[in-house]
Amino acid sequence: MKKKDLRIYKHPILGDMPEKKKIYIYFNEKKLTAYEGEMIAAVLYANGIRKLRKTERFKKPRGIFCAIGRCTDCVMTVDGIPNVRTCITPVKNGMKIEFQVGLGKWKKKIW
């Protein structure tokens, strides 16, 4: 686990990473440690997960591209809702994040 952690804990300019409350999220059922205030995509990247979804037309994988919520490349299915921009959506304890295929499926019952 530690080995794959790509967080920058020590930084020559920014100093040590501030202490934050530890929480857990699930990526395709896999339990991951996250810290309060982190963005979903950042937690996944910290764990070496860069493939966030597969596109509709050419079935190609996508990851983070703009990191500020504009390009919508990082969208995933979060708590049953597809197309959530994970680079600007903070994690919540117990959040369920799923790899999105194409337009995704509404896991959340909508009717």
Partner 1 sequence: MKNKKIICRCKEITEEEIIEVIKKGIKDVDGIKRALGAGMGLCQGKTCTNLIIKIINRETGIPIDKIRQQTSRAPVRPISIKIISE
Partner 2 sequence: MEEKDLVIIGGGPAGLCSAISARKKGIDVLIIDENLRPGGQLFKQIHRFFGSKEHMAGVRGFIIGEKLLKEVKELGVEVWLNSIAYGIFKDKIIGVIKDGKNTHIKAKSIIISTGATENPLSFPNWTLPGVMGAGACQTMINIHRVLPGKKVLMIGSGNVGLIVSYQLLQAGAEVVGIVEIMPKIGGYLVHAAKIKRFGVPIYLSTTILEGVGKDEIKGAVICPVDENFKPIIKRKKYIDVDLICIAVGLTPLNELLYQAGCLFTYKGYLGGLVALHNENMETTVENIFVAGDCSGIEEASTAMEEGKLAGIAASEKIRNKKWEEEKEEIRKHLNDFRIGTFGEKRKLSKEEIIKEYYERIKT
Partner 3 sequence: MKELKLDEKTYFNKISFPSFERIKKGPVAIIECIEDIPCNPCETICKFGAIKVGFPITNLPILDEEKCTGCGRCVPVCPGLAIFVLDYNFNEKDCLLTIPYEFLPLPEEDEKVKCLDRDGKFVCDGKIIKVIPPERNAMTAIISFAFPKKYYNKIRSFKR
Minimum CB–partner distance for residue 44 and partner 3 (Å): 25
Q: Which residue has the tokens 């995933």?
A: 76
b/e 37-58 (16+ beta carbons within 10 angstroms → b): ebbbbbbbbbbebeebbeeeee
Nearest-Å Rg of the Cα atoms of the chain is 14
- For residues 9 and 58, which CB has a smaller minimum distance to partner 3 in the complex? 9
Minimum CB–partner distance for residue 36 and partner 2 (Å): 12
Residue 7's binding partner among partner 2, partner 1, partner 3, none (Cβ under 5 to 8 angstroms by kind) is: partner 2
Query: What are the residues binding partner 3 (CB under 8 A)?
Result: 10-13, 15
